[in-house]
């Protein structure tokens, strides 16, 4: 009996244990389900946040006939800020306030290279390309990088401070210095071959160069073309005040903004005056050339569009700042609030506005119709007109 009782009590205990175990398993299972849901939320939450953190929500893009091509986040530190975004050919270059550069494939947004191109705080004067080389003056050194890999090809101490971004052709680098001269350095070894200057010893503010001529401008309104191989004058033009960088060139013309509040067009081969447009306000940056229009920011008036052929004013957008790109008859404009305005160039009026948040950087694109916008923290997006 004792054994039976013992067995009975043992069976009773087993049943209780089973009950407890069942309850515990049920509790664990429920907790597991809750935990799974919680973990799933944890996994899915960044995806949800990612969508809301993009510079432009997909639904908003549809409203203005745009679509997202790609989106990315530059590999920069939280303490860094994106300062520049430049498009050259099929590469997009981002430069931070710590002189950290990230190169992206413009078609897909993939990182091609990232590297520090100079100590934090060093001035980076200009950024341009010639064939497969990227060049700039960084902290008083003329630096060449491979445009695709970022590998440094050369670095030469100049020995003088520069006054504007350098120009380049196959033969020479042309460096404007604070000594009010252009220094022509042989491209292969950076040996100086000649100097050039305006007769009034004015400061060089902008330089463009090709294989046939070099055109430079000064802070006293000189626009001068010289031979690319020696300081031989081809033509000269005198505006009323300082010429503002950059000079913009087309196949047969050169355009520039001047502190006399005018925009000028000259024949690039002869220097002959073609037209000038009186902007009616202070100009502190150069114009942007589209397919047939010239876009110019005018302080206090916004962005004005001028017919590049004859200088006739087409439209004005008070909140406009710069051209992002053109597509068909539309021009996509970045505004002072960081929004995107769509202008109909034929109807000469604004047709849509896309409210953006956090846009601080952009790369103007006149090669095709893609739009490149970014935020300080390195979020970047490529947009295009919906197909």
The residue among 329, 340, 327, 345 whose CA lies nearest residue 385 is: 327
Please give the average per-residue pLDDT across 28-49, as a whole number.
36
- pLDDT for 192 equals 97
| This prediction's pTM | 0.84
Please give the average per-residue pLDDT across 6-27, as a whole number: 42
pLDDT (tens digit per residue) in 332-378: 999 999 999 999 999 999 999 998 877 899 999 999 999 999 999 99
Residue 1 has pLDDT above 60, yes or no: no
pLDDT for residue 63? 87
% residues pLDDT > 70 (the chain): 86
pLDDT band at 58 (very low <50, low <70, confident <90, very high): confident
User: Can you give the pLDDT at residue 53?
Assistant: 63
- Taking the C-alpha atoms of residue 73 and residue 109, their distance in angstroms, rounded to an integer, is 9
DSSP 112-157: EEEEE-S-TT--EEEEEEETTEEEEEETTEEEEEETTT--EEEEEE
Q: Say if residue 60's pLDDT is above 90.
A: no
Q: What mean pLDDT comes out for the span 198-204?
A: 96
For 129-147, what is each residue's pLDDT tens digit?
999 999 999 999 999 999 9
pLDDT at residue 55, rounded to an integer = 75
Region 86-114 average pLDDT:
97
Query: What is the 8-class DSSP label of residue 242?
Result: P
* Residue with the larger pLDDT of the pair 16 and 239: 239
Tokens of 199: 């007769």
CB 217 within 8 A of CB 243: yes
Task: Measure CA 36 to chain center.
Answer: 43
The overall average pLDDT reported for the chain is: 88
pLDDT above 90 covers what percent of the chain?
81
d(CA 376, CA 97): 10
d(CA 25, CA 33): 12
Average pLDDT over every residue of 76-80: 94
Domains of the chain by residue range: 1-53
């Amino acid at each position: 009996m004792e054994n039976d009782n013992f067995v009975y009590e043992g069976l009773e205990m087993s049943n209780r244990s089973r009950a407890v175990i069942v309850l515990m398993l049920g509790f664990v299972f429920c907790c597991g389900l809750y935990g799974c849901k919680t973990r799933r939320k944890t996994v899915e939450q960044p995806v949800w946040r990612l969508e809301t953190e993009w510079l432009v929500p997909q639904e908003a893009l549809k409203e203005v006939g745009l679509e997202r091509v790609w989106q990315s986040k530059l590999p920069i530190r939280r303490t860094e800020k994106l300062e520049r975004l430049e498009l050259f050919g099929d590469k997009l270059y981002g430069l931070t306030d710590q002189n950290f550069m990230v190169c992206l494939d413009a078609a897909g947004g993939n990182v091609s290279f990232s590297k520090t191109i100079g100590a934090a705080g060093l001035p980076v004067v200009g950024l341009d390309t010639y064939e497969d080389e990227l060049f700039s003056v960084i902290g008083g050194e003329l630096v060449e990088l491979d445009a695709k890999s970022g590998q440094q090809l050369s670095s030469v101490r100049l020995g003088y401070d520069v006054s504007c971004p350098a120009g380049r052709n196959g033969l020479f680098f042309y460096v404007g210095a604070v000594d009010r001269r252009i220094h022509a350095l042989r491209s292969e070894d950076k040996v100086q071959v000649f100097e050039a200057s305006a007769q009034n010893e004015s400061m060089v503010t902008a330089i463009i160069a090709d294989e046939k001529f070099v055109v430079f401008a000064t802070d006293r309104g000189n626009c001068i073309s010289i031979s690319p191989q020696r300081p031989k004058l081809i033509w000269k033009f005198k505006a009323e005040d300082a010429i503002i960088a950059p000079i913009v060139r087309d196949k047969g013309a050169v355009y520039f903004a001047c502190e006399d509040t005018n925009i000028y067009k000259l024949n690039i081969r002869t220097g002959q005056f073609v037209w000038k447009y009186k902007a009616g306000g202070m100009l502190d940056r150069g114009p942007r050339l589209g397919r047939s229009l010239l876009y110019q920011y005018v302080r206090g008036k916004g962005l004005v569009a001028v017919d590049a052929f004859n200088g006739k004013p087409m439209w004005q957008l008070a909140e406009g700042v710069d051209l992002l790109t053109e597509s068909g008859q539309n021009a996509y404009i970045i505004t002072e609030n960081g929004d995107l305005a769509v202008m109909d160039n034929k109807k000469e009026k604004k047709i849509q506005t896309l409210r953006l948040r956090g846009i601080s950087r952009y790369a103007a694109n006149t090669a095709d119709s893609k739009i490149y916008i970014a935020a300080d923290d390195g979020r970047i997006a490529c947009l295009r007109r919906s197909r």
